Amino acid sequence: MTQHLLSHEGTIEVPGGQVWYKAVGGGPLPPLLVVHGGPGFTHNYLTPLEELAENRQVIFWDQLGCGRSECPTDPGLWTMERSLSEVDAVREGLQLDRHHLFGNSWGGMLVQQYVLDRRPDLVSLIVSNSLASMPLMEKETARLKLALPQSVQETIDHHERNGYYSCPEYQGAMAIWFQHYICRLQPWPRGLEECFAGQGAEIYRTMVGPSDFNVTGNLKEWDILGRLHEISVPTLFVAGRYDECTPEHMRLMQEQVSSSELALFESSAHMPFYEEPSAFMTTMKDFMARAEGAA
């Protein structure tokens, strides 16, 4: 559907190195800047959002340390504050002023923090399948694990206790977790497979930890729930019924933001743009059009 759209690629200097970006489409409507998850994954799994580029530019980039961007080895780079500075550099490098800002998963964490700390003049904010409290996320992850078969729980727990993260048995158990709470499609879409292939694993370990069940990184105490009421830009929260970022968590987030709404996708986990693409795109287009009309 989007094969005929023009696109261009380039690099931008950010704190710590250069990042690669791709801008798709164009037109009179405000651009959409897309921030991918991880931390340490790549933009590839978000390419379905190119469908939104018929009358606007949709811009992706691989964050520093993953995909087609430079991959420095200094673990001191992998912090929230440096990531906020990276968003600053990307917006400046692309000369973006008023635009829509979309973040999925870790990208949703980053864009929320960015709006709170930088106060950019945005048309809208879209927080997709994300969280606002890592301590709360840990509790919910433990709860969701209890819904898995007992043998899968025991396999995860045994390997987590012993640090056997590379064992095939552990990887098989985690595949079941992913199929329940990340993407329920089988087989997985190509873009999602490419994302896992190009990830910067060290970034995830530094900021989160060895796994979703063992959060030891520098985001362990990250919690902005008490600040979300400061967000005044029109905001859309996107949740999936079966997401590891639970709809209960996202409802709690949405309730803190006065100019916001929640879109819940009943047949999706963490990837509604794959799992319910038509409904997702309709929701995005409608919300952005209303935000543009209000602006």
- Catalytic residue IDs: 105, 243, 270
CA torsion angle for 204, 205, 208, 211 (degrees, to 10)? 100
- Tell me which residue of 68, 90, 107, 63 sits closest to 203, measured CA to CA: 63
Amino acid identity at 35: V
- Tell me which residue of 119, 127, 129 sits closest to 232, measured CA to CA: 119
Helix (H) / strand (E) containing 274: helix 272-275
Residue 22: phi and psi, rounded to 5, are: -140, 125
Q: Is 256 exposed, middle or buried (0-12, 13-18, 19+ CB in 10 A)?
A: middle
3 state SS of 55: coil
Yes or no: say if 28 and 57 are a contact pair by the CB < 8 Å rule. Answer: no
Alpha carbon distance 72, 50 (integer Å)? 29
Task: Give Rg (Cα) of the chain.
Answer: 18
Alpha carbon distance 164, 168 (integer Å)? 9
Q: Which residues pair with 260 in a beta bridge?
A: 235
Total residues found in the chain within this entry: 295
Based on DSSP, count helices (H) and strands (E) in the chain, helices before strands: 10, 8
